[in-house]
Chains A and B, each alone.
Chain A
Amino acid sequence: MSCAIAFEHVSHRYLHAVAVDDVSLRVEAGETVALIGPSGCGKSTLLKLAAGLAWPQQGSVIVTDRKLAPDNVLEIRRRIGYVIQSGGLFPHLSAVDNVTLAARFLRKERQWIADRVAELAELVQLPRDALDRYPSNLSGGQRQRVSLMRALMLDPAVLLLDEPLGALDPMVRHGLQEDLRRLFKRLGKSVLLVTHDMAEAAFFSQNIALMREGKVVQRGSYRDLIDAPAEQFVSDFVKAQRGLHAEALDG
């Protein structure tokens, strides 16, 4: 597998808005790409297109070397771990049932499931007792970890993470960032990660894609964005973000 995800001239419009406009973007196997841009620029939509939750009106989406189509979408989704923007845990299932739902549906062996849950709990550092609780009885950070476990359960080749650390306070967030980066390295996954925080993007990846109004305006490392901005917007965006996290970015 050379290429985990490839968007080829993909466009998607909703009833009232063009969310993704002629985007071509590749995520190579084992690579982490951070997707960043102002609110409403189409980041989440791009992730949905990769998981077949939305279908492009133009262009094609290729995941693990196969063109996404209605007849292979279920199978391909099982090779994708997707954490949606708000976590998306099912409130009627306990944490562990959330994590194992797909595996149970696929009739994986009980022992295999139990082992996998234990392994993942350790990986994301979730306390054992949190597994039996319902999502409403978990902290924000624990919920994110459970979402991550659910995404990793079937050992997917590709991870789509939509602001996985979005709603967390800085301390927790910082800890989880560390955990996640370590995890990506260790597992060798291909990751497309959405964030609206330049520091986080730079922390995760040398490979940042900056979006604006449905288009990818520049791809490169954080340094590239600063040193060779493709257009004025890139500089403005970076400058605005820098005001927020000057020391983190320059350090």
Chain B
Amino acid sequence: MVEYRRCLLGAALTILALVTSPSVLAAKTVIGSKAFTESVILGELAAQLTKEAGYDVEHRRQLGGTRVLWSALVRGDIQCYPEYTGTLRTEIFASQSVRNDDELRALLARESMWTSKPLGFNNTYVLGMRRDRAAELGITRMSQLASHPTLRFGFSNEFMQRGDGWPGIRQHYGLPQQNVVGLSHDLAYRGLAARSLDLTDLYSTDAEIVHYDLTTLVDDREFFPAYDAILVCREDVASAVRESLDRLGGRIDEMTMTKMNARAALDREPESQIAASFLREELGLASDVKVESRSARIWRRTREHLAMVGISLGLAMLVAVPLGIVAFHRRGIGRVVFAIADILQTMPALALLVFLIPWLGIGYAPAIMALFLYSVLPILRNTHTGLADIPRDLRESAEALGLPRIARLRYVELPLAARSMLAGIRTAAVINVGTATLGALIGAGGYGQPILTGIRLDDTKLILEGAVPAAVLALLVQWLFGWIERRWVTAK
């Protein structure tokens, strides 16, 4: 039975690998970008320049944070992404204490990475407050924060963690604030607007600085290092592509970038269009972008979403049902299996996704793997419960007929447990439809894509474009399982 389980798991993983293999994309140059507007615009610029160089290109937008992009680059899931020198120095090469950008370039070369010329702007971190709030307290410099211990800080989750973020600032400036929360960058702006937060981290080129009427605090003890924007690529990227990308060198200053950010964030202009018009006006390139119609968009995301939910659910059924049966017949194995499944279930989805990236890369594979792991427990538990709830006399009747164990399982026990098993599968499916929206964070697309973009741009319509189909899909799944249950497993 153990052998059998191992085979099954192996088969499941093989299918997973086949379905999600990056080899499908091998011919393409893949550009990644982080989950904020500026990175998406820069990624779009890089993508269009790659295309200009005559290469097939795919832009995987808003994949996540630095860690996600860097590991994707190292693995070769993406070939390039926009980055900041400061981030590389302090996040990726923190242990090497890199002093300047030449050293950085050398380090990157050792990792088989190539960097473009600096694009021309320094997007450093700054701390921002509402202009009126800062004026009220008379704060203009970061060192003044020390005398206002009750201020409420809300930092982007990444900023909360990184060495050059909040922990570093607190130490460098000796800040006493206790009321510090981590949240998404875009929610932080809204927190400031609603006065539930006093201060957040910003990028110096953020369009929102204008939009929310914020003031940025002077870094009077020079904590933040320079964050020159560059493009990092794998060395194996074609030289024609590198040349094309280097045409951006020195062409984007802070003002230009802030304006482009504002066009995306405030005017809701698609990043591809902003990038195209920049390339047209600054570099004289006739870059044309085709705009996907809304229904085509929704249909594409539906397919992506269904693929994630369907494949993960199918795999989970293949694994969890036999595992549930084994767990029922072998108490000891059962306890171990349930302990592991319980732990997996309590792991936050985002953590699980990021955890899977070094192993499975970005895109469908980690998303499906994570959803698969979440689906296992409900199916496993309900299979087990369904079997355990079969009355003893029915079990004994089946035995008394002289049926061997497999036949009893097939003809009596599984049919009697079917209702409970189906309920487990239904639970898993509905959870999956919701959780799959997080797949967008690691490049698996789906309904999460517009939700993510919508939150980033504070665009309710866009959020609804993802949230409504997701809700409808969840209802459809409920209905489908209700129908299956009525049709096939209603107790007679």
Contacts and interface: CB of A to CB of B under 8 A. Distances in A.
A93 B411 CA distance: 9
B411 A75 contact: no
Contacts of A102: 401-403
B15 interface: no
A91 B492 contact: yes
A84 B492 contact: no
A82 B400 CA distance: 6
A233 interface: no
A53 B412 contact: no
Nearest to B400: A82
A92 B401 contact: no
A101 to B, nearest CB: 6
Given A75-B402, A77-B400, A92 B415 contact: yes
**Size range of the interface on B?**
10 to 19
Given A80-B400, A105-B411, 10 more contacts: A48-B396, A74-B403, A77-B401, A84-B397, A84-B400, A92-B415, A92-B491, A101-B403, A102-B403, A136-B492
Contact of A53 (B394, B400, B404): B400
A86 interface: yes
Interface of B: 393-394, 396-404, 407, 411-412, 415-416, 418, 491-492
A85 interface: yes
A85 B27 CA distance: 69
A91 B491 contact: yes
- Bin the interface of chain A by size: 20 to 34
Contact of B402 (A78, A88, A134, A136): A78
A94 B400 CA distance: 19
Contacts of B415: 90, 92-93
B403 A88 contact: no
Interface of A: 48, 51-53, 74-78, 80, 82, 84-86, 88-94, 101-102, 105, 134-137, 150, 154
Contacts of A89: 397
Contacts of A86: 393
A53 B411 contact: no
Nearest to B416: A92
For B401, B411, B412, the residue with the greatest tally of chain A CB atoms inside 10 Å of its CB is B401
Nearest to A52: B399
Contacts of B402: 74-78, 80, 102, 154
Contacts of A76: 402
Given A53-B396, A84-B396, A101-B411, A92 B403 contact: no
Given A74-B402, A77-B399, A90 B394 contact: yes
A51 B402 CA distance: 9
Closest 5 CB pairs of A and B: A88-B397, A134-B492, A77-B402, A78-B402, A82-B400
Contacts of A105: 403, 407, 411
Nearest to A77: B402
B394 A88 contact: yes
A39 B274 CA distance: 86
B491 A84 contact: no
A50 B414 CA distance: 27
Contacts of B411: 101, 105
A101 B401 contact: yes
Contacts of A80: 400, 402
A76 B394 CA distance: 19
Contacts of B394: 88, 90-91
Contacts of B401: 77-78, 82, 101-102, 150
Contacts of B399: 51-53, 77
